[in-house]
Structure 1
Amino acid sequence: MSGAALTRSLFGLFFFGVCGAQDCPLHLTTSTVVVRYGDPVSVNCTVSEDHTGIGWEASEGSGPLTNNVQFVTWSLKHLTIWDIKPQCYVNFLKNGKHNQCEQELEVIVYKTPDSISISAVNHTGPMLEGKQYQLQCEVQNIAPVQNLTVKWYKGETLEDQTTYDNLTKTPLNVSSTLLITPTSADDGAQYSCVAELELGPEGPEPHPADTSEPLTITVHCESLMPVLTASL
């Protein structure tokens, strides 16, 4: 246990009450912060009343219980923890009673993919008109998958999209498939897939997005079988 956490735990033994969220005199710069893996992060926590100690508790970046200040900052030069839950807490007197309350900061850590590629499954060379084929998009080492949408395009036209419900916070490899039945008009068409991270209102705009190299398809008409006729 960190020194800050131990101080908080020991101090909490002397408290008689914990205030509700509506009574908590703490205010965070933001309730949710979105950070690219490895980037710096910094959030202030301000107290609006007299207090007997304020501090941050986190697996990294904890600060000591501090008096005679109105705000404390949780900051890291490089955020490299995928699942971190910093909490700002304050001890104070209210109506003659000792109270303690806290505000938790939601941290969303994201990473764009190492690579994204598209291929035809179990097929090489020209495609035959009217036959069904499966295209596959491979996205390597991206997080968080629950915020990922893989979008399929034919040229500039959105054909389909895939979302994911995996709640794992660390990077994963994922794939998406698209079924196509090309016609002769699709000869030379270019398909591509885009891995887009939609990270909410606090996230970067435009959304982080990586696009595969296009897959150009060649479509041949299926040859007609020769019809043999007997001469009289």
Structure 2
Amino acid sequence: MAAVMRFWKLCVVFLWCAMSLPAFSRAQEEDFMRIWPENPVVPFGGFIVLNFSANCENIAVETSLSKVPAGDGPSWKAFNFTSVTHWEPQILCHADCEKGKAKFQTVVITVYRAPKRVELDPLPTMEVGEEYNVTCRVFNVAPIRNLTVTLCKGNEELHKKTFEDHNNPEASDVVVTHSITAQQDNHREEITCHAALDMRPEGPLFEKASPDKSYSQSRAVYPPEQVIVELQKSSTGQSWHYDLKCHVIRVAPLSNLTVTFFKGTERLISRKLWNYTKAERANVTVIHPIVLQPGDYGKEATCHVTLDVSPHKEPFTATSHKLELKAAETYRAVTVAASAVATLAFVLVGFVIYYLVWAHGGSK
């Protein structure tokens, strides 16, 4: 510790000499007092050495900060202000000058804290043409008036926010929000947030960006333009075996799509398209094998689709037209039944006619 203090004394003496020599080269016509550095900056919890010089006597310093003498001379004193944990602390220096006059000067220390963390709020799945908010949060930073927050999409600067009018010197959190409109080519664009605390020229420049895990990918959402259901004979060729097909036209993203088949009010099956990774609009056909029964004749089949992008937006839903179930086997069954009924009717009519003729002939 003693070695450190001797080092600081040597530094302060050198700085004081460099600052004071020009003053000694000219006549001392008036009293003066100087504090160096003139605009001191220090990190919160750090320390700083200040030099106080004057052509007066009895230089004294008043402050609420803890201080340790760091050197002195005939017309100067230096102090090491340790563990600065006040925001914008003031230091008053005064000295006794000729004719009973006192000289006073005050310096304000700017205390800073580099951004502790920079994060982006997760972006929702986006629908093309819709407006969304991008929110960046900078945590525990000071002074905010020296802060600049920039939102970027890839290499493109979306928004830059400065805080020159912010007067509170204490560290706090900052929230910056900017609205964007989702475009068709935004899929997998990286949205990033950059925070810069600029303490130059007296202090350093701190820069921090949102981490990779905060990068949010916007995805275009296209509700289906059309939903069509059809019934086709199964390729197995078995009787009463058919395929219900649901055609969903120009929809994205497919991975958020669920297709549900109904027969009347009976739900047959629901399928979520987990394995579809296409981000752009596409057509998709979902097939459900079905075994019809004669009793299904006249029932209606429908296809219901849900594009679920919750919780950020209400799901999109659409339903196909109603398709009346008419199987070829049903037609054949109806034809056979009709033929049987017609044959039976013909036999009955013949029997009636025969009976009438026979009965009439026998009565004669």
Q: Same fold (TM over 0.5)?
A: yes
Please state how far the C-alpha of 1:135 moved relative to its aligned partner.
Answer: 1.0
Which amino acid counterpart does residue 146 of structure 2 have in structure 1? N
Please state how far the C-alpha of 1:42 moved relative to its aligned partner.
Answer: 0.6
2:103 corresponding residue in structure 1: 101
Paired positions, count? 196
Query: CA-to-partner distance for each residue in 1:171-220, whole Å, 9 max, x for gaps?
Result: 1122000111121222111111122112342121xx21221125231322
* SS in structure 2 at match of 1:42: strand
Structure 1 gap segments, 5+ residues each = 1-21
Please state how far the C-alpha of 1:63 moved relative to its aligned partner.
Answer: 7.7
Q: TM-score, normalised by structure 1?
A: 0.75
Query: CA-to-partner distance for each residue in 1:13-65, whole Å, 9 max, x for gaps?
Result: xxxxxxxxx95411222211111111120111122x2x33112111114689x
Structure with greater proportional helix content? 2
2:97 corresponding residue in structure 1: 92
Q: Distance in 2 between matches of 1:209 and 1:76?
A: 27
Q: How does 1:119-134 map to 2 (within 5 A)?
A: 119-120=121-122, 124=124, 126-134=125-133
Which amino acid counterpart does residue 38 of structure 2 have in structure 1? S
* Matched-pair contact (CA < 8 Å) for 1:56–1:63: no
1:191 corresponding residue in structure 2: 191
Q: Distance in 2 between matches of 1:28 and 1:143?
A: 24
* Matched-pair contact (CA < 8 Å) for 1:24–1:102: no
2:41 corresponding residue in structure 1: 34
Of 82, 88, 98, which residue of structure 1 is paired with 2:87? 82
Change (3 A) 1:171 1:68: closer
* Matched-pair contact (CA < 8 Å) for 2:126–2:218: yes
* SS in structure 1 at match of 2:169: coil
Which amino acid counterpart does residue 181 of structure 2 have in structure 1? T
Q: How does 1:108-187 map to 2 (within 5 A)?
A: 108-120=110-122, 124=124, 126-164=125-163, 165-187=165-187
Q: Does 1:218 align with 2:225?
A: no
* Matched-pair contact (CA < 8 Å) for 1:55–1:63: no
Of 45, 57, 61, which residue of structure 1 is paired with 2:52? 45
Of 18, 25, 45, which residue of structure 1 is paired with 2:32? 25
* SS in structure 1 at match of 2:87: coil
Which amino acid counterpart does residue 162 of structure 1 have in structure 2? K
* SS in structure 2 at match of 1:208: strand
Q: Distance in 1 between matches of 2:57 and 2:203?
A: 35
1:60 corresponding residue in structure 2: 65
Change (3 A) 1:35 1:62: closer
* Matched-pair contact (CA < 8 Å) for 2:68–2:80: no
* SS in structure 2 at match of 1:27: strand
Change (3 A) 1:142 1:68: closer
Please state how far the C-alpha of 1:161 moved relative to its aligned partner.
Answer: 1.4
Of 203, 207, 210, which residue of structure 2 is paired with 1:209? 207
Change (3 A) 1:135 1:23: farther
Which amino acid counterpart does residue 178 of structure 1 have in structure 2? H
Q: Distance in 2 between matches of 1:88 and 1:116?
A: 39
Q: TM-score, normalised by structure 2?
A: 0.49
Q: Percent identity?
A: 23
* Matched-pair contact (CA < 8 Å) for 1:57–1:63: no
Structure 2 gap segments, 5+ residues each = 1-28, 229-364
Structure showing greater Rg: 2
* SS in structure 1 at match of 2:109: strand
Q: Does 1:71 align with 2:72?
A: no
Q: Distance in 1 between matches of 2:31 and 2:68?
A: 19
**Which one has more relative contact order, counting CA pairs under 8 Å at least 6 apart?**
1
Q: Distance in 2 between matches of 1:140 and 1:194?
A: 12
Q: Distance in 2 between matches of 1:194 and 1:23?
A: 50
